[in-house]
Structure 1
Amino acid sequence: MNSNYHISSFCKIKNNEVSLNGSVIYNNENNNFSAFIKAAYKSLETNYAKFFKMDALSKLAFLAADVLLKNEHLNPEEENNIAIVFSNKASSIDTDRKHQQSIQNKEDYYPSPAVFVYTLPNICIGEISIKYKLFSENSFFIFDAFNAQHLLDNTNSLLSTDKTKKVLCGWVELDGDDYEAFLYLVTNKGSIIHNKQNIVKLYNT
């Protein structure tokens, strides 16, 4: 285990709240995900017009990533050597259902391209990468439950082989109005050592 890697910041979106490094930066009592995420987008000054064309999973991942990466004060004009390792358990099920409905609602097979494009969970990684010019390694894994060990191993491997300077990783799960995002940024500096115990602790806090 390499203790030189640290968690420099983390963001959680769950139960109508958005928090950064353990402090709530936005909350809204609206239990409807669509209304909540739009209000959070406006309040947090996300400022990305394409946001409204995304599916729900991408909106959730994008907003959490935006909170973290804005906190890093990245230069928007430069490429950023940040890899992405995401995971969840339901894949793109929320959008898959909408895709199936778009087929059933038509006499002929002609599903909506705007929905179909989001029927892979890793599309949310592309949305984040476009805004922040992230052209390093990326992956999206499907597990039965949050898997801290896998995130740890993949992240440490990317960093130790010099494939990236930082890794944005975590869990982004959405099914209807049931949603949860936990993202954290791993670098070579920070106050929290990047190990399984700390990842689990932050996730469960």
Structure 2
Amino acid sequence: MKLYDFELHAECYAARLMLSLLGVTYQTEAVDFYPEAAHLAPEFRAINPLGRLPLLEDGTLRFGTVQGILSYLAAAYDPTGHWAPDTAVLRGEVAGWMAVAGELAATAGQARLIETMFADGDAEAARAGAEALLRVIDQHLWFGEVEGRDWLCSATHPTIADIACFPHVVLSEDGGISRQDYPAIRRWIDRVKRLEGFTVMSGVFPTSSAL
């Protein structure tokens, strides 16, 4: 298995995190997302016409979106079925939060790219969009805690929805977005970091108890 990867890319981190949580052995091939924009080069587009990272190869299979990668890994490598539950309710919930992860990429993720990799765009508009999403997520998590729920979906365990959303939330401060006003999100981040197999990246640190 090979992951085409850029160390500082939030969605590449989501793929690496999922692989680590599942204990899957894989190789990486670095793609210079910034500053070279190698993901847009003809050589890379020949294997992923979308020109996007991450890209996962497993034998003859290729998955060129983070949503596809997380869904595939959970279905193929999680014998418990916890990461991608197969009940109607949880499948619907996971799909909904995967869509939210896409919105986080377009707001919090975009603000981070503008601030750290000089991407084009309106940083203030991206931050405003991210703040609106974070308020909704924080409220959702807070009410969930009141009801005894720790994760984005109603399952008693994390799902790929948590992994899809986590990188853009935990890296949001790189885009100038404070998490000070989102205590339920901060507690959720801590819970994700305590999962067996959790792995870090630049800007993402282990919990204090793990130091």
Task: Tell whether the structures are fold-level matches, with TM greater than 0.5.
Answer: no
Query: Which structure is higher in helix share?
Result: 2
TM-score by length of 1: 0.29
Q: Which has the higher contact order (CA 8 A, sep 6+)?
A: 1
**Which structure shows the higher strand fraction?**
1
